[in-house]
Amino acid sequence: LTEDARTWVDETGVEVEIIRKMPVAACLPHSFNELMLNIAESKCKIKSEAGDTVKQWYKLSDKNGRVIGTNFGKEPYEFVLGRGQVIRGMDAAMKDMCIGEQRRIVIPPEQAFEEEGREEDGIEPGSTLYYFVELVDIFRPNPGEKWLEDDGLSIEVIHKIEESECKKAEPGDTVHQEYTLYLQDGTYVDSSEARKKPFIFKLGSGQVIPGIDRAMTGMCEGEHRKVIIPPDLAYGEKGRPPVIPPDSYLRFDIELAKVIKANEGQNEGKKEEL
């Protein structure tokens, strides 16, 4: 769809060309292109903005068209837009995109790896980078409440689910949890992503540390929470050698991916250590 692509260059020299606004337009005759772009725009319910977690497919090439790296056909690359987790040019070029949109991006060295390059990725010093990207998905947090309980358990709702849409986790339910665990100083410990599967357990049955049982009770399916658990509700003065020292505060980033209610007649979760 080169004839209905749009191109611009921002003030930093990053060049962006929209190749495909929305997937539905790709199969239509040229005479319908303008109409379909308007329809596609109306179907774009959310556009990427700073603070969104985005998933991206990309192909990176050099000036001669040599492919340096690509993840098409693999797991999408995930990052928080506008937070410096990627090169400056990519942060700028991925804004205001619709899910399914494709762009061709030219990033000058000043907005990429400058004069240092990136030897481990085969990027020479002073290289201009040529990307072809597709926005796969957008997650935009809907912040909720934050509270501290008397025994030191801290809970912050990073993404809330409206009460009318909430399937709530209660004791006796089986829950599927996506999590990342850190020590209080930010040291990474473990995650469900590393295990390649959600952590499954029966809520309120003592299969996990008390702080997790408490923090996940009342969560809605799809909700995200940041939880800080004091030692008395975690592994106490013994810790969990070698990864968790004695008397450690633990920080969990949690998503309740699925709730199976106790009365739904499903198999209970397996007991695992967490």
Burial grade of 137 (CB within 10 A; 0-12, 13-18, 19 or more)? middle
Three-class SS string for 22-74? CHHHHHCCHHHHHHHHHHHHHHCCCECCCCCEEEEEEEEECCCCCEEEECCCC
269 occurs within a structural domain: no
198 occurs within a structural domain: yes
Examine the fold and report which residue of 139, 160, 175 is the final residue of a domain before the chain moves on: 139
Q: Kindly state whether residues 47 and 94 are assigned to the same domain.
A: yes
Q: Kindly state whether residues 177 and 228 are assigned to the same domain.
A: yes
164 occurs within a structural domain: yes
Annotate 145-189 with DSSP letters as a single string.
-EEE-TTS-EEEEEE---GGG--B--TT-EEEEEEEEEETTS-EE
Q: Kindly state whether residues 163 and 250 are assigned to the same domain.
A: yes
274 occurs within a structural domain: no
Q: Kindly state whether residues 112 and 210 are assigned to the same domain.
A: no
273 occurs within a structural domain: no
Q: Identify which of 12, 249, 48 has the alpha carbon closest to the alpha carbon of residue 152.
A: 249
Examine the fold and report which residue of 111, 139, 167 is the final residue of a domain before the chain moves on: 139
Q: Kindly state whether residues 217 and 251 are assigned to the same domain.
A: yes
Q: Kindly state whether residues 14 and 128 are assigned to the same domain.
A: yes
Q: Kindly state whether residues 112 and 7 are assigned to the same domain.
A: yes
Q: Kindly state whether residues 150 and 235 are assigned to the same domain.
A: yes
CA gap 50, 53 in Å, rounded: 9
**pLDDT < 70: residue spans in the chain:** 1-5, 22-42, 265-274
| Residue pLDDT, tens place only, 4-16 | 458 999 999 999 9
Q: Kindly state whether residues 119 and 161 are assigned to the same domain.
A: no
**Residue 62 lies in domain:** 2-139
pLDDT value of residue 249: 98
pLDDT value of residue 30: 40
Q: Kindly state whether residues 129 and 152 are assigned to the same domain.
A: no
Examine the fold and report which residue of 109, 139, 169 is the final residue of a domain before the chain moves on: 139
Residue 27 belongs to a domain with what CATH number?
3.10.50.40
CA gap 150, 4 in Å, rounded: 60
Find residue 227's DSSP bridge partners: 155, 252
Q: Kindly state whether residues 163 and 229 are assigned to the same domain.
A: yes
Q: Kindly state whether residues 116 and 226 are assigned to the same domain.
A: no
pLDDT value of residue 47: 94
| Residue pLDDT, tens place only, 191-226 | 998 898 999 999 999 999 999 999 999 999 999 999
Burial grade of 6 (CB within 10 A; 0-12, 13-18, 19 or more)? exposed
What's the number of domains the chain is made of?
A: 2
pLDDT value of residue 44: 86
65 occurs within a structural domain: yes
272 occurs within a structural domain: no
219 occurs within a structural domain: yes
pLDDT value of residue 178: 96
Backbone CA torsion sign across 209, 211, 217, 222: negative
pLDDT value of residue 41: 53
> Which residue carries 């397996």 as its tokens?
270
